[in-house]
A and B are shown apart, each in its own frame.
Chain A
Amino acid sequence: MIALSVAAVLAIFLLYTSIAGGGTPSLRPSQLDGHSGKVSLAGKVVGRPSGDAHAAGLHFVLRDVKGTTAIPVMYRGTVPDLFRTGRDVVVQGQLRNGVFVAVPGTLMTKCPSKYAPAKNS
């Protein structure tokens, strides 16, 4: 009985904090419109990244992985080893005047082939 009641209290506590505290929305470039707060953006790097991530900032363009909407991104901080054109990445930040300004150090690559290289078929 004690166990059950305490567990129930914990469960409610948990639901409360998770829903009220909320998470960070994960979006694609095409879903960015109307979001002014901090979001996590996932997309594919297109074009040539330019600039210096440890100085004025690295500039690159993220496109929907399956789509055409693209958005310019400005990023500072550590650039993962696997970052390059064509890779899927996730980065946190918010939209300011049409540019997605990233939170420093939040860029992560999602290598779809991390543990198994692409099938050479």
Chain B
Amino acid sequence: MPDLGRAALATALLLLVYAAVAGTFAAHRRRRRLAASAQNALLAAFGASAVAAATLLVALARHDFSFRYVADHTSRKLPLGYTLTAFWGGQEGSLLLWLVVLCGYGAAAVWTTRRVARDLLAWTVPVLGVIGTFFAFMLVFVASPFATQAAPADGAGLNPSLQNPYMAIHPPMLYLGYVGLTVPFAFAMGALLSRRTDERWIVATRRWTLAAWAFLGVGQLLGAHWAYVEIGWGGYYAWDPVENAALMPWLAATAFLHSVMIQEKRGMLKVWNMLLVILAFCLSLFGTFLTRSGIIQSIHSFTQSSIGPWFLGFICFVVCASLGLVFLRLPLLRSKTKLESLVSREATFLYNNLLLVALSLTILWGVVYPLVSELVRGETSTVSKPYYNFFLHTFGLPLLLLMGIGPLVAWRRASFRALGRTFLWPLAVAVVAGVILLAVGAGSSRVGVIAYTFSIFVLASIALEFVRGTRARKALGSESWPGAFTALVARNRRRYGGYVVHAAVVFLAIGVAGSSVYQTVREHRLHPGGAMTVAGTRLVFRGFEQHRAPNHQAIRAVVDVYRGGKRITTLLPGKNNYFAEQQVSNEVAIRHDYADASDLFLIADQVNRDGSVDLKALQKPLVNLIWFAGFVFVGGSLIALWPDAREERRLAARYAGALAEA
């Protein structure tokens, strides 16, 4: 069994090296058949890595503890589902997942674009080959998931906090995102190497970028939700380096998704787009490096391991090689047009880009600050929440506002009179909302009021866009209102899908602002029969109850919840004591209130010998909008991603000329 895994990985490595070397030679000498063979090697490498992954899965399912990886990450008592998801519970498995996803993405992207962008592909394949080679090399020589040992009777088990459905799908989602950014990067490098620096590399990879970005976004939300329900401190994001590691490439990719539209429409920002795609890819490598090297203190502290220096080396290589290549090709990356006015759609996209990149780089600065201060002052210093919150407010709030302004501003040059007309309604709605908010006492937090007023403004301007578009379509033909609406969205999927995603970001902002600046926290030591009050809700502690599960002992505080004198529910916050792992895990109790999207969040902070409990209660307004935003986000991304036959035909016609020349 382990031999099969090792052989599959070695085969994948050889195939990827072949794709890199033969592909380079073929592209350089314009050998079409050799290029096709390099492409096939990439497809075959996917097969080989899939065999390796299947081997590990089978070993996990069979509790084959002679695999060191299986023994280290599972135990016999662990339920089958978590036994299988322990695949990405550790470093070697995570790396294997990287490789499989990379080969899968690469093979699929190459296959789907082989007609639209054949000339680019000649150079894209070797780039993918080089990246794949790095990961396959790591798996074969540095961190093999197929290391063996004399099988122990039972394994060490999986960390209890990872025994949660969210943790089962959060890592693969993030990986689909991280690794997915390889595709636009590889095509960008392919475009530079083949000197075809028109916007085709962007068009060819548009959906891949969007999909990767959507996965990364969903992955982070799942992680946030996991932290919220499982880790149990009442929050969902702590600005921890490992969390930031996923946020940074997402922000860079968001900037990229916006700025490529300007290159497609107006032929501008070519160098900028190259830099953004390099930034996004390097940040995703950096994210993997950060989580695995242990170089920066994090509450996540994964195993410190030997792969850190390898990753750092590879990141340096990627940065130097890609920037060098951009520099060499600068003459080919001149803009066709210039920015005509600072008040135009292009300009708002540019501002959005600057803010996103600024936010991303400030976070990066915060993450590496301990290393920088160590180098400069000889003393490690860390920045924490106030630093990040400051920059989130300075860059995030203007970003929020821009989402409302951008879509209403005309391309090229907007007149102030036209702007006044289009902004009238959204502005009026926002002002009214602001006044109402102040009247109901939201003024206790200035940031909160600003965020909410901006949010209303954005929602109003998005609604206005839908209304105007539908009305215009209705005027054009004899369609019904719903018909005109669906036709509008179906014919402009990217644009209206984008608006839906904007709405999701607004919901997210409302949820984050509501649950952070307007939350109420109360802590009390309660003896059986004792009571406390949080934001008008009365909590009565009845005593403890205990029960035994196959792999843990559970203790729960029984808390009755009263609102307006009426008992509305009983919550059971407590702790689980896991036997095999010898760990205690906090189990919070949450009551969702779907009417106002708030949560009552209970933590049994400390269970005392005398039968009392230290209960921590949080009332978190609007927090459920964050998870709702996730669904809207997925919906909007799907609208934008959905294949559009009309668009395909248009693109095929447009690039027929470019391909004929090749």
Q: Is the CB of B380 within 8 A of A26?
A: yes
Interface string of B595-607 (1 = CB under 8 A from A): 0000000010110
Contact among B89, B350, B362 with A3 in the assembled complex (CB-CB below 8 Å): B350
Contact among A6, A53, A55, A111 with B301 in the assembled complex (CB-CB below 8 Å): A111
Interface string of B41-82 (1 = CB under 8 A from A): 000000000000000000000000000100111000000000
Q: Is the CB of B152 within 8 A of A81?
A: no
Name the residue of chain A whose CB is nearest to the CB of B575.
Answer: A81
A17 to B233, CA, bound (A): 29
Interface string of A82-99 (1 = CB under 8 A from B): 100000001000000000
Given contact pairs A78-B616, A81-B583, a sample of 16 additional A-B residue pairs in the complex whose CB atoms are under 8 Å apart:
A2-B339, A3-B354, A11-B361, A14-B365, A22-B381, A55-B525, A110-B297, A112-B301, A112-B303, A114-B300, A116-B90, A117-B156, A119-B68, A119-B72, A120-B71, A120-B156
Given known A2-B339, A25-B380, A90-B297, contact A115–B616 (CB-CB < 8 A): no
Interface string of B610-652 (1 = CB under 8 A from A): 0000101000000000000000000000000000000000000
A49 to B519, CA, bound (A): 32
Interface footprint category on A: 35 or more
Q: Which chain B positions have C-beta within 8 A of A10?
A: 354, 358, 361
Find the residue from A22, A81, A114, A116 having the highest chain B CB count within 10 A.
Answer: A116
Q: Which chain B residues in 348-407 approach chain A with CB under 8 Å?
A: 350, 353-354, 357-358, 361-362, 365-366, 369-370, 373, 379-384, 387, 390
Q: List 15 A-B contacts (CB under 8 A).
A: A3-B354, A7-B354, A11-B361, A18-B369, A21-B383, A23-B370, A23-B382, A23-B387, A52-B608, A54-B605, A78-B605, A113-B303, A116-B73, A116-B303, A118-B156
**A70 on the B face (CB < 8 A):** no
Q: Which chain A positions have C-beta within 8 A of B366?
A: 18
Q: Is the CB of A23 within 8 A of B72?
A: no
Q: Is the CB of A114 within 8 A of B297?
A: no
Find the residue from A3, A55, A118 having the highest chain B CB count within 10 A.
Answer: A3
Q: Which chain B positions have C-beta within 8 A of A111?
A: 301
Q: Which chain B residues in 486-517 approach chain A with CB under 8 Å?
A: none
Q: Is the CB of B354 within 8 A of A117?
A: no
**A69 on the B face (CB < 8 A):** no
Contact among B73, B369, B584, B586 with A23 in the assembled complex (CB-CB below 8 Å): B369
**A46 on the B face (CB < 8 A):** no
Q: Which chain A positions have C-beta within 8 A of B463?
A: none
Contact among A55, A82, A108 with B583 in the assembled complex (CB-CB below 8 Å): A82
Given known A14-B362, A115-B90, contact A108–B299 (CB-CB < 8 A): yes
Interface residues of A (CB under 8 A from B): 2-3, 6-7, 10-11, 14, 17-18, 21-27, 31, 40, 42, 52-55, 78-79, 81-82, 90, 108-120
A13 to B91, CA, bound (A): 38
Q: Is the CB of B233 within 8 A of A116?
A: no
Interface string of B551-586 (1 = CB under 8 A from A): 000000000000000000000000100000101111
Q: Is the CB of A21 within 8 A of B387?
A: yes
Q: Which 7 A-B pairs have the closest CB atoms?
A: A23-B381, A117-B156, A23-B383, A54-B614, A116-B303, A26-B380, A81-B584
A54 to B613, CA, bound (A): 10
Q: Which chain B positions have C-beta within 8 A of A11?
A: 361
A105 to B540, CA, bound (A): 24
Q: Is the CB of B525 within 8 A of A54?
A: yes
Q: Which chain B positions have C-beta within 8 A of A79?
A: 605-606
Q: Is the CB of B361 within 8 A of A26?
A: no
Q: Which chain B positions have C-beta within 8 A of A117?
A: 72-73, 156-157, 159, 581
Given known A21-B387, A54-B525, contact A116–B72 (CB-CB < 8 A): yes
Interface string of B295-316 (1 = CB under 8 A from A): 0010111111000000000000
Given known A3-B350, A23-B369, contact A40–B382 (CB-CB < 8 A): yes
Q: Is the CB of A116 within 8 A of B91?
A: yes
Q: Which chain A positions have C-beta within 8 A of B90?
A: 115-116
A111 to B366, CA, bound (A): 22
Q: Is the CB of B303 within 8 A of A53?
A: no
Name the residue of chain A whose CB is nearest to the CB of B361.
Answer: A14
Q: Is the CB of B152 within 8 A of A116?
A: no
Q: Which chain A positions have C-beta within 8 A of B68?
A: 119
Find the residue from B89, B303, B339 having the highest chain A CB count within 10 A.
Answer: B303
A93 to B373, CA, bound (A): 20
Q: Which chain B positions have C-beta within 8 A of A24?
A: 381-384
Question: A50 to nearest B CB, angstroms?
Answer: 13
Name the residue of chain A whose CB is nearest to the CB of B384.
Answer: A24
**B532 on the A face (CB < 8 A):** no
A76 to B449, CA, bound (A): 33
Q: Is the CB of B361 within 8 A of A53?
A: no
Name the residue of chain B whose CB is nearest to the CB of A82.
Answer: B583
**B433 on the A face (CB < 8 A):** no
Q: Which chain B positions have C-beta within 8 A of A120?
A: 71, 152, 156
Question: B87 to nearest A CB, angstroms?
Answer: 13
Q: Is the CB of A7 within 8 A of B72?
A: no
Contact among A7, A42, A112, A115 with B159 in the assembled complex (CB-CB below 8 Å): A115
A14 to B413, CA, bound (A): 32
Q: Which chain B positions have C-beta within 8 A of A112?
A: 301, 303-304
Q: Is the CB of B585 within 8 A of A81?
A: yes
A24 to B382, CA, bound (A): 5
A7 to B271, CA, bound (A): 15
Question: B293 to nearest A CB, angstroms?
Answer: 13
Q: Which chain A positions have C-beta within 8 A of B585?
A: 81
